[in-house]
Amino acid sequence: MKIPHIGGYLKALRKEKHKTLKDVGDAINTSASYVSQLEKGVRNPSDDVLEQILKTAFLMNDSDAEIMLRKWRIEQYQNIAEGAMPDVSFKKEGEVPVIPYFKEIPQNFSSAKADEYWPFFVEDADIAKNLFIWQMKDDSMEPHIPEGAILVIDRDTNNLPYRSVILCRAETKSNVRYLEKRDEKYKLIPANNKYPVYFGENVEVLGKVKKMFINV
């Protein structure tokens, strides 16, 4: 399955607005080549860059730009999650294994009893053994992951890609963050910049986000 990069959404909107690469580059004081790299997925645009393009190059108001960015990020993340974990769907209880759901992540997580068990179909039984379910408690990952989203988490944290979306424990509470790792040092970054960035000290990585469910 080919995963659409957010640059694809940016390109589609640029064409809809009848703008050239140079038009966009000039509007945000950069080159047409840079904008082209964003659209092709060669570069991964930050939310700040995307907002600048939407507001300055496409003349969108703050509210419309925020809604557009949230839509793009949710669509992109859902596609990534589906690509990483194929053939996953809910089915009736009794037909499939159950996956543990935790309202809060306890300190002794490896041996903790779940609050509930949810029926959940996973094609690969080996993957299912590592999964648990948790609900997003705040807007720290807005607009990428909305508050209240149901997240399927994989306990396997080996070989995490750069900018993986992970569940961690920091400052005694569970948080979802982007993971950046260099030279064995962690940097955990929120999508919403009103929340803190965490560093490797006293941070426990609990799992990587594999799939998200939201109410629309």
Q: Is residue 113 located within the same domain as residue 75?
A: no
Q: Is residue 128 located within the same domain as residue 200?
A: yes
Q: Is residue 21 located within the same domain as residue 71?
A: yes
pLDDT value at residue 81: 44
pLDDT value at residue 87: 36
Residue 97 lies in a domain: yes
pLDDT value at residue 75: 67
Q: Classify residue 56 by its DSSP letter.
A: I
Q: Is residue 134 located within the same domain as residue 202?
A: yes
Overall number of domains in the chain: 2
* Domain boundary, last residue among 49, 84, 119: 84
Q: Answer for the pair 169, 201: CB distance below 8 angstroms, yes or no.
A: no
Write down the pTM of the prediction.
Answer: 0.55
pLDDT value at residue 9: 84
pLDDT value at residue 55: 93
Residue 1 lies in a domain: no
Using one digit for the tens of pLDDT, what is the confidence trace for 145-184? 888 888 999 998 888 887 889 999 887 788 999 988 776 6
pLDDT value at residue 144: 83
Q: Is residue 75 located within the same domain as residue 93?
A: no
Q: Is residue 111 located within the same domain as residue 202?
A: yes
* Domain boundary, last residue among 62, 84, 106: 84
CATH number, residue 154: 2.10.109.10
* Domain boundary, last residue among 65, 84, 103: 84
Ranges of the chain whose pLDDT falls below 50: 1-3, 80-95, 216
CA dist., res. 196 & res. 190, Å (int): 7
pLDDT value at residue 147: 87
pLDDT value at residue 93: 41
Q: Is residue 53 located within the same domain as residue 150?
A: no
Radius of gyration of the chain (CA): 19
Burial class (CB in 10 A: 0-12, 13-18, 19+), 104: exposed
Pairing of strands 164-170, 173-182: antiparallel
Its domain, for residue 11, covers 6-84
Q: Is residue 37 located within the same domain as residue 101?
A: no
* Residue 107 DSSP SS3: coil
